[in-house]
Amino acid sequence: MKKWIVIGMVLGCLSALWGDQPGEQEWSMTKVGMIFKFKEARETILEKIRKADETIAKANSLIARAQNTGNKAAEEIALRALQKAQENKRQNELKKLQIDKNIAYVQNRMAEHSGIDAKIGGMVTNHSGRVRVVSGKPPYEAVAMDGERPGYFEEGDTIETYGNSRAEVQFLDGRGSMTIGEYSRVKMEQKDPLSEALVLSKGKIHAMVDKAEAFEGWLEKQAQMAADDPNKLLMHDLGAIRAWIKKKSKKFEVRTGGGTASVRGTTFTMSADEAGGTMIELIEGELAVTNVKTSGETILKGGEKMTISAEGTVHIEPLKLPSHPWWQP
C-alpha cells in the first residue's frame, strides 16, 4: 500500500517532467520502453561475458596442465578454446558499451525534457563494418557509426550499410528488433501516431516483431519490476505506463518497390533488388502482403517464401532456410 501512495505522490513531478501535451507523454513513454529493452539486453550480455570469463579461466588451467605434462595436442585444443572465448568476450563487451551509451542517451533526453520534434525512430544496438545514418532533414548529414556516438536514428533517417557490414536495431518502441544486411538502405517513417513503416529501398533485413498483446504484457511486467524499486520511481510511474500500454497497438509495415508487408507478430526476412523485385521469407507468424503493381493482397503463412518480380508476378513456395542463416552471428 505504501508503494502506491508514493507513486501517487510523484505523479505531479512526472507531469512536470513529461509535459501536458499527449504527444510529449507518448514520446516519454516510448523512451521508457526503449530503456526497459536495453536493460534486459544488457543483463543477457553480462551473463555471456561471465560465461566467457569462466571459459577463459578453464582454458588457461588446461593449457598450464598440458604444458606441464608435455601434451601438445591438448594444449592446442585448449588454446583454440581460449582464443574463441576471448573473442566472444570482446564482442560482447563492445555490445555492452554500445547499449550503455544508448541507455545514457535516452535517459539524458528524458531529463532534458526533449521536444517531440525529434523522436527516436530506433537505436542501433550492435554493428560491424561500415554503417552510417543519413539524416532525413536538411542538410541531410551522414554520420558514421564509429563507436563514438549513441546508435540512435530519428524518424525520417536512413541507415546504410556497405560491404561485409551489418547493423542490429531496436525499433517500434522496443517491440521490434532487426538485423540489416550488407549493401542495404532502410528508412524509418511514421505515417501517423498509431503506425510506423520501414522503407527498404535495397538490400535485406531480418526482423522479429512481438505480437502487440505479448509486448504489452512484457512491458507491464518491466514497469512493475521498476516500481518495486524505490530508486526508480521518479523515472517509471506504473500508473502512467499502464495507461499508455492500454492504448498502445501501433500498426507496422515494411515497404519495398514491389510490395508492402503488414506486420503482426512475425519473424521474417525481406529483401529488395535494384531491378524492383522483392523476396519475403516468413519464418513464423503471418504477413498480409500487398502487391504494389496489382494492389492485390496475399496472406503469407509461416514457413512460406514469396517472390514478387519487378513486373508484379507473385510466386509462393515452401521456405527452406540454410543451416546458418546470414543474420546469425
C-alpha cell at 9: 505522490
* Choice between 102 and 245, residue whose per-residue pLDDT is larger: 102
Q: Which residue shows C-alpha cell 505522490?
A: 9
Give the pLDDT confidence score for residue 237 in this predicted structure: 56
* Residue 244 confidence (pLDDT): 58
118-163 pLDDT per residue, tens? 567 788 888 889 999 998 888 888 888 876 666 778 888 999 999 9
Distance CA(127)–CA(145), nearest Å, equals 8
* pLDDT single digits (tens) 54-86: 999 999 999 999 999 999 999 999 999 999 999
Average pLDDT over every residue of 24-28: 53
CB neighbour list of residue 70: distance below 8 Å, 6 or more residues apart = none
> Which of 118, 124, 117 has the alpha carbon at shortest distance from 148?
124
Q: Using CA of residue 262, residue 267, residue 272, residue 276, what is the dihedral sign?
A: negative
Q: Which helix (DSSP H) or strand (DSSP E) does residue 206 occupy?
A: strand 195-209
Instruction: Give 258's pLDDT tier (boundaries 50, 70, 90).
Output: very high
Spatial separation of the C-alpha atoms in residues 141 and 34, rounded to whole Å: 25
User: pTM for the complete prediction?
Assistant: 0.76
**Which residue from 185, 198, 119, 106 is spatially nearest to 154, judged by alpha carbons?**
119
